[in-house]
Homo-oligomer: A and B are copies of this chain.
Amino acid sequence: MTNTGRLETFCDGVFAIAITLLVLGIRVPAANEDVGASLIAQWPTFLAYLISFVTIGIMWVNHHRLFALIDKSNPTFAYINVGFLLFVAFVPFPTELMAAQLGAGSLAGQRVAMVLYCGTFFAIAIMFNAIWLYAASGARLLRPELDLEALRVGARRFAIGPPAYLIVTLLAVVNPYVSLALVGLLAIYWMLPGSAPDTAPAP
């Protein structure tokens, strides 16, 4: 058993790098291109940057809120977090793929790209809940003074993630643009108060 300091530093590092690498997916027009037209034609790249950045940013905030409840770590918990980061660090790839397909690909290509994009967030949502369940099961790693009953209420809304992203992933087969819009809406939903278990004192 150790404290969570270094695990948080490592997770913060991976989050910060993955979110900053997103910019490398935006193509710089060659010097002899029409810059304005080239940037406008690249609109899906900018949209993809925005949605992925905000989604990763919110996942980071919620990871941070979750760890505010936790006061110790062990190797198993660290491994679960590594599994979580496996998908967080993967996000720049489906982001760039999706942007390339939305801009110029076939409908079939857009479907594959969007399934991979939404599927990555589905996997992240599952791992997020695995982190929470491992830490909260029997209050294993939680700070002792917390009100478990209040936390369960928050966790219930928190558990919406996996089914929500599963539906969005399945919808991507039907209409990739609807799925992209829903990923954006889900990002806004996670920002609402009460969407994650919080340290609010019990009444």
Which residues on A are within 8 Å of B, measured CB to CB?
1-2, 6-10, 12-26, 28-36, 39, 49-50, 53-54, 57-58, 60-61, 64-65, 67-68, 75, 78-79, 82, 85-86, 89-90, 92-93, 96-97, 100-101, 103-105, 108-109, 112-113, 116, 191, 193, 199
When all copies of this chain in the complex are counted, the total is 4
Q: Main SS of the interface on chain A?
A: helix
Give the shortest distance, in Å, between A31 (CB) and chain B (any CB): 4
Instruction: State whether A86 and B13 are in contact (beta carbons under 8 Å apart), knowing that A64-B78, A79-B58, A100-B31 are contacts in the complex.
Output: no
A31 touches B112 (CB 8 A): no
Instruction: Please name all residues of chain B whose beta carbon is closer than 8 Å to the beta carbon of A57 when the two chains form the complex.
Output: 79, 82, 85-86
A26 touches B61 (CB 8 A): no
Instruction: Please name all residues of chain B whose beta carbon is closer than 8 Å to the beta carbon of A16 when the two chains form the complex.
Output: 10, 13-14, 16-17
Instruction: Please name all residues of chain B whose beta carbon is closer than 8 Å to the beta carbon of A90 when the two chains form the complex.
Output: 23, 49
B23 touches A21 (CB 8 A): yes
Give the shortest distance, in Å, between A29 (CB) and chain B (any CB): 7
Instruction: State whether A82 and B58 are in contact (beta carbons under 8 Å apart), knowing that A12-B13, A64-B7, A92-B23 are contacts in the complex.
Output: yes
Give the shortest distance, in Å, between A68 (CB) and chain B (any CB): 5
A100 touches B28 (CB 8 A): yes
Instruction: Report the 9 A-B pairs with minimum CB-CB distance, sorted nearest first.
Output: A13-B16, A57-B82, A31-B104, A35-B109, A17-B20, A35-B112, A61-B78, A20-B89, A36-B112
Instruction: Please name all residues of chain B whose beta carbon is closer than 8 Å to the beta carbon of A15 when the two chains form the complex.
Output: 10, 13
Q: How far is the CA of A105 from the CA of B39 in the complex (A)?
A: 14
Q: How far is the CA of A105 from the CA of B36 in the complex (A)?
A: 12
